[in-house]
Amino acid sequence: MRGLVFTDQLELKRDLESLSIPPGEALIRSLVVGICNTDIEIVRGYFGFQGILGHEFVGVVEKCPDAPQWEGKRVVGEINAWCGECPACHRGDESHCPNRTTLGIFGRDGAMADYFLLPHRVLYEVPNSVSDEEAVFTEPLAAACEIPDQVSIRPQDRVVVVGDGKLGLLCAQVLHLTGCELVVVGKHLEKLDLLRNRGIKTCLLGDSLPGGVDIVVEATGNEDGFQLARQMVRPRGTIVLKSTYHGTPQIDLSMIVVDEIRLIGSRCGPFGAALRLLSSKQVDVTSLISDRFPFDEALTAFQKARENGVLKVLLDF
């Protein structure tokens, strides 16, 4: 089978051995797989992962010996394969299971291959009302849905999302559903337009920024974004950190104490809720697709995904 493998460099291999299915796992045939910033960072060497990339997928279960009712179903899946037996799993924090492997990120080959494996217990059937190109956004949309799971967001709250990349645009749409007073701060007029078309207020970096904000979602993943968030949030306000950072920025912890700021790290989220938002069309993801490539052109697709201003690039199998 074919697979996009990262070792020291990115390589499309065509002669990978077929997979044997461990207990509890399903063999899934890829339909569409998205390129995420995390994939690009793995290729830059930031995560130390080597293997087949890809964790944003929609596929069809080919074989699932331990739970054959899944066979033939169109599915998406959580990217963390948790153990189900440790204190974190028992507490309901499965995505923090210390024994987890993570699809295409840590200890487990990913979905950028003709076939891949995941435990059937992390799979979700995709409703017919959700197309393949919508379903492939389930994972990042679930990550956006993690925010209201962690922070109560009310219609009277003033909320800012910093960052108009893919994750910022998804977070903005999810937060807009709460009826809060939302502004999205970004650098790219054409990306912010996608939100303005949906009635979401935006602000170009360089214009006068909101101040005294109750909740700021930092979705740029760079230190400047964090400083902006710090500048806009009110005392006793909340900053949600939605993306990882390169290096270890210097943070003024004293100001966090003096202003009693809450800083909340936020990662993977609820897949069921994300699928429901896709099915009800309360969130638009297809306008975030910049380009699609057949899997055979995966290397070209990665080049495209790294270009400035490009949003989601999809791989079709």
Q: Which stretches of the chain bind its own copies, using CB under 8 A?
A: 87-88, 93, 96, 150, 212, 226, 234-236, 241-245, 248-254, 256-267
Beta-sheet pairing, 51-52 with 3-6 = antiparallel
Q: How far is the CB of 153 from its own copies (least distance, A)?
A: 16
**Least distance to its own copies, CB of residue 179, Å:** 20
Amino acid present at 93: D
Q: To the nearest whole angstrom, how small is the minimum distance from the Cβ of residue 244 to its own copies?
A: 4
Cβ distance to its own copies smaller for residue 27 or 170: 170
Q: How far is the CB of 88 from its own copies (least distance, A)?
A: 6
- What token pair was written down for 65? 């010996």
Decide: 36 and 55 in contact? Cβ < 8 Å: yes
By beta-carbon proximity to its own copies, the closer residue of 59 and 221 is 221
Interatomic CA distance for residues 136 and 164, integer angstroms: 19
**Residue 140 Cβ, how far from its own copies at the closest point, in Å?**
14
* Beta-carbon-side half-sphere exposure of residue 212 (alpha carbons within 13 Å): 0
Select 218 or 284, whichever has its Cβ closest to its own copies: 218
Place of tokens 């204190």: 87
Residue nearer to its own copies on the CB measure, 204 or 251: 251
- 295 close to 316: Cβ distance less than 8 angstroms: yes
Phi, psi of 300 (to 5 degrees): -65, -40
Q: Which helix (H) or strand (E) holds 78?
A: none
Q: Least distance to its own copies from the beta carbon of 158, Å? A: 11
176 vs 242, which CB is nearer to its own copies?
A: 242
The residue behind tokens 């968030």 is 229
Joined tokens for residue 81: 């394969």
Closest to its own copies by CB, 88 or 203: 88
How many whole angstroms separate alpha carbon 5 and alpha carbon 20?
18
